[in-house]
Structure 1
Amino acid sequence: MSAPKKIGILGGTFDPPHLGHLKLATHFTKLFGLDELLLIPSGEPWQKASSITKAEIRLRLTEAAAIDLAKAFLYLKLSTVIGVDRLEIDRVGPSYAIDTIKTLRVRYGSDARLIWLMGVDSFLSLPSWHSWTELLHMVHFAVATRPEYELETEMSEEIRDLLTNHQTLDASALENTPSGRIYLDKTLAVDLSSTDLRNCLRPLSGAPLGPEQIPSHALEIITNLGLYKHSS
């Protein structure tokens, strides 16, 4: 029998996608030996401002970023299949992670190892997510720290309890079961945020951006369409 598939899931608004997303995706792809990596732009991110860029444009930006990610995988000799999935964009109503995970669990089967990749800022906000207590019944969490977040001092009691019951210090533990584990990775400290990058792209910001912050193919679309030129 073949081994269960390992599927990495990286969701977000991707407004815009940046090198932090790609570095996180690459790091966890190598660490877990992922068979597939899904980039899933949110359709109606219910916790974000209404001024978010239109979903179809964010999808285009994510697809463009995936081109640069595929080049990086080729250079690193990673055979992981990269997919940009529009399931949240096509779903009517708010984009809830629980609905996405349920869909992916049906798609890949009960034995697949589904690993939700996220930064520590998203992890700390988990108790505000819709039906968040159900998530670990269907998926693992792989969490990358960020320099400006002190996990020990900023975590809520709910997050502390979650780590007590589900954290593992062994990355390979996520390969032994389809869901239910949390792996905190402290080796990848990426300090980029889409909010900061949008502000840099505004006129008179005085902070020019290049491919060291935003993937080159996505940056080309941003420049051609004149995105983020106006204050929200």
Structure 2
Amino acid sequence: MSTRQKIGILGGTFDPPHVGHLKLAIHFAKILHLDALLLIPSGEPWQKGSGITPAAIRLQLTEAAGIDLARAMLYLKIPTQVGIDRIEIDRAGPSYAIDTAKALRARFGSDASLIWLMGADSLLALPSWHDWQELSNYLNFAVASRPNHALEQQLTPVLAQYLAKHQTKDASALETDTSGLIYIDESLAVDLSSTALRQHLKTPARHTIGSEQIPSHTLEIITNLGLYQ
């Protein structure tokens, strides 16, 4: 097994963070033997349009989710360190993943394996990302399947070609190679979305949302601040 440093990266708008994010993080922390996992809330999510919760609040919600994630790692005896990274919050302008990838590569050095974690829906949207094909020069990707996002039926020709070049069936390859690989994991299927949770929180039934959907510390802040009403 390689001794190189393995850093997981879970970026997102996190508006709000939900248990699906945590399950994805825990799953890949375990199977990829991650040394550290960074939750990176986007500063200016340029593809999300208007109506996004302010970055400072989303950072606070993500920090709260990080508490529950770290406790779950400890309980499950997964020795992955959890961190919340302000890199996109502090960077002016649109939050492009390629800028984050370059900055993290400079931070961790050429010998670390940087692994961007995502759901299948994000992989399908990858060609819409800024300079997306350049990402493989800096990162590996670990992709979790999601219900209603069957990759085979939804792949565009350009994404299919990209996968043919970069996909690996061997998860351990992401531990030994620093970048350029895509591993698609079919064993995890989480059917939660921030969009659906926001819509639920706007209804009179918002009190029915529990810690099985939104991490308890995050939910406490949402309730105390009266967010998403």
TM-score range, shorter chain: over 0.9
Q: CA deviation at 1:16?
A: 0.3
Partner of 2:3: 3
Partner of 2:76: 76
CA distance in 2, matches of 1:31, 1:76: 13
Which consecutive unaligned segments of at least 5 residues does structure 2 have?
none
Q: Which residue identity lines up with residue 140 of structure 1 in the other structure?
A: N
Query: How many equivalent residue pairs?
Result: 228
Q: For residues 156-192 of structure 1, give each alpha carbon's deviation from its aligned partner in whole angstroms, at most 9, with x where no partner exists.
A: 1111011111111100111221000000000000000
Partner of 2:156: 156
Q: Which residue identity lines up with residue 50 of structure 1 in the other structure?
A: S
Partner of 1:121: 121
Q: Which residue identity lines up with residue 81 of structure 1 in the other structure?
A: Q
Q: CA deviation at 1:206?
A: 6.5
Q: What is the TM-score of this pair, normalised by structure 1? A: 0.96
Q: For residues 84-129 of structure 1, give each alpha carbon's deviation from its aligned partner in whole angstroms, at most 9, with x where no partner exists.
A: 0001000000000000000000000001000000001110001100
CA distance in 1, matches of 2:24, 2:158: 25
CA distance in 1, matches of 2:228, 2:117: 26
* 8 Å Cα contact 1:200/1:207 also seen in 2: no
Q: CA deviation at 1:207?
A: 7.1
Q: Which residue identity lines up with residue 34 of structure 1 in the other structure?
A: L
Q: CA deviation at 1:203?
A: 3.0
Q: CA deviation at 1:3?
A: 2.0
* 8 Å Cα contact 2:4/2:176 also seen in 1: no
Partner of 2:50: 50
Partner of 2:192: 192
CA distance in 2, matches of 1:8, 1:33: 10
Q: For residues 22-78 of structure 1, give each alpha carbon's deviation from its aligned partner in whole angstroms, at most 9, with x where no partner exists.
A: 000000000000000000000000000211000000000000000000110011111
Partner of 2:67: 67
Partner of 1:107: 107
RMSD: 1.1
Partner of 1:132: 132
CA distance in 2, matches of 1:226, 1:211: 17
CA distance in 2, matches of 1:176, 1:38: 19
